[in-house]
Chain A
Amino acid sequence: MYFNTILFILVICGSFYRFISLEDYLVSYKGDCDPDIEICYEYCEDNECFYYSIIERTASEVISLCGKDVTECDEAYECRNDVEECSIHFCKPKENEENVCVTNINKL
């Protein structure tokens, strides 16, 4: 049981180091999307609809670019070519049946 206790303490320290010190994880957040040129996710509230894509990238990189808040940071919404772990996901109607996809390219 002492072995497990030591292992447990290591787990707590390891998790703290990974998630809080290194910020070694992916983050996803809503990015911009123009339904005239892309297939967007749609979110409607009070008769007003919003269109968005989903951006996924490493937290440490976003923090280095924008700090802890992505809302006021333009660089958070684009993926540079030299960054590997950065992707922008657009809505895929067949794969995401529960989501509403919107585009004006051709009527879905």
Chain B
Amino acid sequence: MICYYYEAPTNLFFVEGVPELLYYSHIPASVFALTVGLFVFVNNPKSLLNRILLLIALCFTAIAVVNLITWTNNQSDIILFAWSLVGPFQALVSILCIYFIYVFLHKKDISWKIKSIFTLLLAPVLLLATTNLNLSGFDLATCDAFQYEGEYYTLYYNLLGLLAILWTSTLLVKNYRKADRYFKKQIVLMGIGLELFLFLFVTIFYLAQYLTSIGFIEDSRLELYGFFGMTFFMAMMGTLIVRFKTFNVGMVASQALLIVLVILTASQFTYVASRTGTVITAVTLVFTAIIGIILVRSVKKEIAQRAELLVLTGKLEKANVRLKDLDKLKSEFVSIASHQLRSPLTAIRGYASLLREGNYGKIPVKGLEALERIEDSSKLMAIGIEDYLNVSRIESGNMKYNYADFNLKDETEKVCDDLRAEALKKGLTIIFRSDLNSRGVINADIGKTIQILQNLINNSVKYTPKGSIRVLVRDDVVRKKIFVDIVDTGIGMDEDALETVFEKFERASNANSVNISGTGLGLYVALKMAEAMKGGITAHSEGANRGSRFTIEMPLAL
């Protein structure tokens, strides 16, 4: 039926007497939305985020079209058909915005549970859209249907918009806290764009509808301002595309988008006839151009920075390769040098021993003392060389382990027996004890394990001026672990020393007080060997001069 006070539109939407802002608020916003939506979709159609953005743009354009029809048409059936779709489209935009934010933040599709919630929320709007609860009639005199709009239906789909504002802002704030600096900037831009769009679109739309239906305002021209929210949203999307490549769109394409947006804004001069429209278009054009120039400049700067970063990364990679080569050369050098030193040292030790034992004739007592010192020093030197060699092997990954089952308790007892004589020379006792619930068998390299035990017990002997060294072998069958505790009454360690005791070339600050020589590599080598055999070593001390406890931990072979 025809609204008898109103003229029929020309070219679908154009009619005289409508608010000047009508075309300006609807057409550019829709063209912007469609341009950006189609642009990101064409550039990467497989991206879910891009598809949702296109859907939002399409729904928004649909709302703009049906709203234009309600403003400009004079046929009740066409107006009511268009009017009845406002609610479903608006509800869909609200739900799509939540979906969009989920995918933007988590970079993946949402679960079927959330999709089901979306469907449940949308269902009432869609199922009741064609009933009288949405629209029941039309006023031919005023050419609108405000008095025939269902109050609860309108309230429901507007509440969905409010829900979208709360839901998306909560998601954005929650994820902002966890995000890195780069993503935080993207979240801020997305938040400003989307929330402003939803706020303007939902609240202004609802206010205009409500105030017109109760007769507080003559017509709903207030709702026209709600459409400007989309321009802000798309401006932010444009920034995200250009600045952060959020939608995986290329740099050249992004700049092309900016140029298209500026041309689109400028093209409004061709149909905006009124002075207000011209002024607003000019302001928008200047605004868009300024933002465009700033963005392009920032992109250029970023490209330059990236190029610089690429050069630096290349240099760094080369330096890293060189460093690795140098490290390898160092390890090889240490290995070769140690081997070269070890061979003559074996001869020195051997001949010193032969001389001391009288194989080359009788040696005077003073000579024997000198030979003993030569033997002791060369022994220390041999140990030192062995440590260097071990470090070199560990760091170059050339340390070989021959795994076999053996009894750790028996081997520990043997080591204690071997070192007992040396301890007795210093007036120390080595007490061995075991408390096992298993056989005490482990699967490890027996040679390396003995080396670890010797190193730790020998250390205790060296750093204990008086008292005893207690060695306890115990196990924990539940955790499938076996432990060897070496507890001494020696010089102990303070907290600082405990932290660094397993590091290379580290010795406790009070180690020199007992006049003991050492390379500071023994514990480092022992720990690395234990770790390689899936075990470990820990050190404890109550403080300086309060003794130490070293615990070797190895997995039981049950």
Contacts and interface: CB of A to CB of B under 8 A. Distances in A.
Interface string A3-32: 110011011101111111001011111100
B348 to A, nearest CB: 84
B129 A14 contact: yes
A69 interface: yes
B452 interface: no
Given A7-B126, A19-B77, A20-B78, A59 B2 contact: no
A108 B84 CA distance: 40
A94 interface: no
A11 B137 CA distance: 18
Contacts of A26: 136-138, 148
B81 A28 contact: no
A98 B92 CA distance: 37
Interface in B254-280: none
Contact of B80 (A17, A25, A69): A25
A3 B137 contact: no
Interface in A21-59: 23, 25-30, 56, 59
B1 A27 contact: yes
Contacts of A15: 81, 84-85, 129-130
A80 B504 CA distance: 108
Given A8-B88, A20-B78, A25 B4 contact: no
Q: Which 7 pairs between the two chains have the least Cβ-Cβ distance?
A: A26-B137, A14-B130, A29-B140, A19-B80, A19-B81, A15-B84, A11-B129
Contacts of A23: 1, 77
6 contacts: A4-B126, A11-B85, A20-B78, A26-B137, A27-B140, A68-B1
A12 B118 CA distance: 20
Contacts of A98: 215
A19 B118 CA distance: 28
Interface in B84-127: 84-85, 88, 92, 115, 118-119, 122-123, 126-127
A86 interface: no
A101 interface: no
B139 interface: yes
Given A7-B126, A29-B4, A70-B4, A16 B76 contact: no
Contacts of B137: 25-28, 56, 59
Q: Which of under 10, 10 to 19, 20 to 34, or 35 or more describes the interface residues of B?
A: 20 to 34
B76 A59 contact: yes
Nearest to B75: A68
Contact of B141 (A7, A20, A29): A29
Interface of A: 1, 3-4, 7-8, 10-12, 14-20, 23, 25-30, 56, 59, 62-63, 68-71, 98
B122 A4 contact: yes
B135 interface: yes
Given A11-B130, A56-B137, A27 B2 contact: no
A28 to B, nearest CB: 5
A12 B126 contact: no
A84 B140 CA distance: 20
A9 B130 CA distance: 12
Contacts of B81: 15-16, 19-20
Nearest to A1: B115
A69 B4 contact: yes
A100 B479 CA distance: 92
A32 to B, nearest CB: 14
A62 B129 contact: no
Contacts of A59: 1, 76-77, 137-138
B496 to A, nearest CB: 62
Contacts of B130: 11, 14-15, 17-18
B80 A3 contact: no
Contacts of A62: 1
A29 B6 CA distance: 13
Contact of A11 (B76, B78, B88, B147): B88
A12 B130 CA distance: 9
A30 B80 CA distance: 19
A12 B85 contact: yes
A54 to B, nearest CB: 8
Contacts of A19: 77, 80-81, 84, 135
A59 B75 CA distance: 12
A15 B134 CA distance: 11
Interface in B201-250: 215
A11 B1 contact: no
Contacts of B123: 7
A68 B215 CA distance: 27
Nearest to A14: B130
A28 B85 contact: no
B141 A4 contact: no
Interface in B43-99: 75-78, 80-81, 84-85, 88, 92
Nearest to A17: B130
Contacts of B88: 8, 11
B205 to A, nearest CB: 19
A7 B118 CA distance: 13
A29 B4 CA distance: 9
Contacts of A68: 1-2, 75
Contact of A70 (B1, B78, B80, B126): B1
Interface in B143-171: 147-148
Contact of B2 (A7, A12, A18, A69): A69
Nearest to A57: B137
A25 B88 CA distance: 19
A100 to B, nearest CB: 14
Given A11-B88, A25-B138, 12 more contacts: A1-B118, A11-B130, A15-B85, A17-B130, A19-B80, A25-B137, A28-B140, A30-B141, A59-B1, A59-B76, A62-B1, A69-B1
Nearest to B59: A8
Given A27-B140, A28-B138, A4 B119 contact: yes
Contacts of A20: 77-78, 81
Nearest to A96: B215
Contacts of B215: 98
